[in-house]
Amino acid sequence: MSLRLIIFDLDGTLIDSSPDIADAINYAIDPYGLPPVSVEETIGLVGEGISRLMEKLIEKECLPADRELLIGRFLEYYAAHLVDKTTVYPGVRETLEKLAAYKKAVISNKRESLSGTILQKLGLAPYLDIVVGSDTTQERKPSPVPVRYVLSRLGVHPEEAVMVGDSDYDIDAGRAAGLRTVAVTYGYRSVDFLKDADFMIDSLSALPDIAGKLSAA
């Protein structure tokens, strides 16, 4: 069947949000006298949602802190500074324009409201048919549940869709739902985590060619 739907990850695939996330982490942990977390350290922590991010920090730093308190402080800062330093990766806008013939979705392990607001503020929301966050469905990536939710909402079969992301969470979620997968190498995970993808690209600008081949197959 011909390709009809392209599902994107958000952080590390369409946008680089790591500087703003690092700032929010440092605001959250500031009362505990810890040295600031760098952007590089932040990249190694993100990917599984805010709750898991705070759990990792508590474990890593042996913080005598309540997870919910840290989440609250993180969200307090992050919600007010969503796109202070966040950038759209090169070629993303042009690529989304070239993919106008396809339905397009975002599935993020960031909360739906935050994901939607970021996409609106960065001018990417008009390109998308649906945005799904970590709290949209009962499970988040690498579970296939959010992928199946998007397929159901948009009336698309798995063989008519492709999953695009920078993480093994994206590839595993797509494969488990029966989708073909495209890994981008410029994001937050090393290539070692992406070896199970059907395609691997160094720039999102290569995606229209792959979409064209899948549509013609």
First to last CA, the chain: 8
| CA gap 171, 70 in Å, rounded | 30
Tell me the two tokens of residue 81. 């500074």
Are 114 and 133 in contact, with CB atoms under 8 Å apart?
yes
Other CB atoms within a 10 A radius of the CB of residue 31 amount to 11
Residue 184's Cβ-count burial label (10 Å; 0-12, 13-18, 19+) is: buried
Residues 101, 106, 107, 111: what is their CA dihedral angle, to the nearest 10 degrees? -160
| CA gap 1, 159 in Å, rounded | 6
Tell me the two tokens of residue 77. 């800062």
Known catalytic residue at 84: no
Show which residues are catalytic: 9
